[in-house]
Amino acid sequence: MRFPTLYIPHGGGPWPFVETSFATKEEWAPLEAYLRALVAGLPEKPRALLVISAHWEEPTATLMTSARPPMLYDYSGFPEASYELQWPAPGATDLARRVRGLLEGAGITVLENAQRGYDHGTFIPLMLAVPKADIPVLQLSLLHSLDPEAHLAIGRALAPLRDEGVLIVGSGNSYHNMRGFGKAASTAPSLQFDEWLEASVTLPRAEREARLRDWKSAPAALLCHPREEHLLPLHVVAGAAGDDAGAVPFRCDIMSIRASAVHFG
């Protein structure tokens, strides 16, 4: 089958595996249910996952090539149990070679990192989506330039993977302003941006990519994304979507803001 490409909200910190002070369990419940069904709801089990996490940036596109990636607890201020979570999914070394070939074939320079582990943008949602940790996973970094077109181009180069049993997942958040979470004044801007997001991803490919390149012109764009690292995984999965239509199959209201997922195909 041709796998879809997915842009998912990964929530906050180590939720729902430890208690957090910034939202109730009831508020988190819809997102937790969505993520638990993410892979189980597919017609086939992927042979591998390629994850682009908001929590890894490099000057050059970089692949995580460890056969047994460690855990990277890239958060702070949480209970001790947060730093004992384990998700021992194998790395996807064969996929790394294929991804490198696709990117270099598109003129995109690629580096490798054999020491880096799964950051929380990967292991937290996938502990829900793949609880048995039985699917190989490859992480690909964002570019530190945060250039929208460069991330769309990365996605376009990766599109053939969808016909090779690979599920491409962009892990971020459709709203990410740390100063705005939990504040009533954030609700209206997040809804305005969310409306623009849905209107954009459901357009035909050329119009969709044009709007994503110019995302800073969206209503309340910089109020919702003062820095765009949590949005750019969307650009990668949109680039990989080709002519497939986008849809918003999930949204929730949490910490006074709207969070949405986008699926293509």
**Per-residue pLDDT, 23:** 81
CATH architecture, domain 5-264: 3-Layer(aba) Sandwich (3.40)
Mean pLDDT of 232-256: 97
Q: In angstroms, rounded to a whole number, what is the distance separating the alpha carbons of residues 129 and 151?
A: 25
Domain boundaries, the chain: 5-264
Whether the per-residue pLDDT at 173 is higher than 90: the answer is yes
Q: How far apart are CA 124 and CA 59, in angstroms?
A: 25
Cα separation, 206 vs 87, whole angstroms: 38
The answer to whether 172 and 121 are in contact (CB under 8 A) is yes
pTM over 0.75: yes
Phi, psi of 52 (to 5 degrees): -110, 110
Task: Give yes or no for a cis peptide into 204 (omega within 30° of 0).
Answer: no
Pull the structure tokens for residue 49: 């996952």
Tokens of residue 200, six digits: 């954009």
Query: Length of the chain, please?
Result: 265
DSSP secondary structure string, 26-79?
Answer: HHHHHHHHHHHTTTTTSSS--SEEEEEEEEEEESSEEEE--SS--B-----SS-
The answer for residues whose C-beta is within 8 angstroms of residue 27's C-beta and 6 or more apart is 254, 255
**Which segments of the chain does DSSP mark as H helices, in order?**
25-36, 93-105, 120-129, 148-158, 187-201, 205-213, 221-224, 232-240
- The pLDDT tens digits for 77-87 are 999 999 999 99
Mean pLDDT of 167-184: 97
pLDDT of 51 above 90: yes
